[in-house]
Amino acid sequence: MTEKKMPIDAKLGLDVFKVDKQAHIVIDQKKCKKCRDDFCLYICPANLYSRAPNGDILVNFEGCLECGTCRIVCEHCGIDWKNPRGGFGVQLRFG
C-alpha cells in the first residue's frame, strides 16, 4: 500500500500561531548589507526571509517555526533570535 504524502505548505497550514507584537527576531541591517551569501533567504523552512530592493533583509517573524536555523547559518551574527515570550509562538499540529 502506498502512503500519500502531504505537501509541506499543507503541513504548515495546520500550525497555529499566537503572534506577539514584540518581535523575537531582530535583524542588524548593517551586518546584513555586507552579506553576499544570503543563507537566511534559503535556509528558513517557512520561507520567511527576503531582501528588499534597498538591500535590507526583511523577516515575517509572525510565521516563524522557532527552529533557530537562521541564527545558526548567519556568518555575520546579524540575526538576533530569541524564543517568543511565554504564551506566544507556534503550536505545531501534525493532523
| pTM of the predicted model as reported, rounded to 2 decimal places | 0.80
- Residues 64, 75: Cα–Cα separation, whole Å: 20
What residue ranges of the chain have pLDDT lower than 70?
Answer: 1-3, 94-95
Domain ranges of the chain: 21-91
The CATH number of 21-91 is 3.30.70.20
Buried b (16+ CB within 10 A) or exposed e, 41-54: beebebebbeeeee
